[in-house]
Structure 1
């Protein structure tokens, strides 16, 4: 998936502007990189458009443990959007990530996150 298409899909899913979608996407990937191991972040980055890779490869630190509420809070601050926009944007980014990288890699990412993150991607729930 190309960068422009990725951002368009996030904007569509969150019901926001392209600018908001871009900011939320970048913030969500930075936050995801903090939440998963550096190796997994690099694996995910390899499957994304070049313009998005840098947001996942900014740290080699071990994964931090925090929940979905904290994830959304960090995205809100980083993207400069209110909490409602971040709450709509985070699922949009995760759903678009899932479409961009496929089930295998996405399941690897979800495996490092609390179960509550699975609810962000309804198509995974329907498959169970």
Structure 2
């Protein structure tokens, strides 16, 4: 089985030609996937703690704070829903379907979905607390 080498810069090419061992880059695929997994776990833990704190809170939420909180909490949901359009805008009009996005950045999509679910759950708890305190 042949090994495929990715040459990132001139130093790696020089090491390859002189038969030295090239260093593994810090930002490789495995490290990035590990970071994304930790980000997903951290998001779930943060969301659970925030929802626990909201449910234990007995203080009243004002309408202004609820609206500001709603806008901030819905931003990841909107990014998740309009990801193909945003990606098409970023890459100068190329059409990128969900399957293509999933193939190239599945970790980001999973994290956005988890973040969106956490934020929607947080909003539901905030609205419930707001309407119960009225």
Q: TM-score, normalised by structure 2?
A: 0.25
Relative contact order (alpha carbons < 8 A, sep ≥ 6): 1 or 2 greater? Answer: 2
Q: TM-score, normalised by structure 1?
A: 0.26
Greater gyration radius: 2
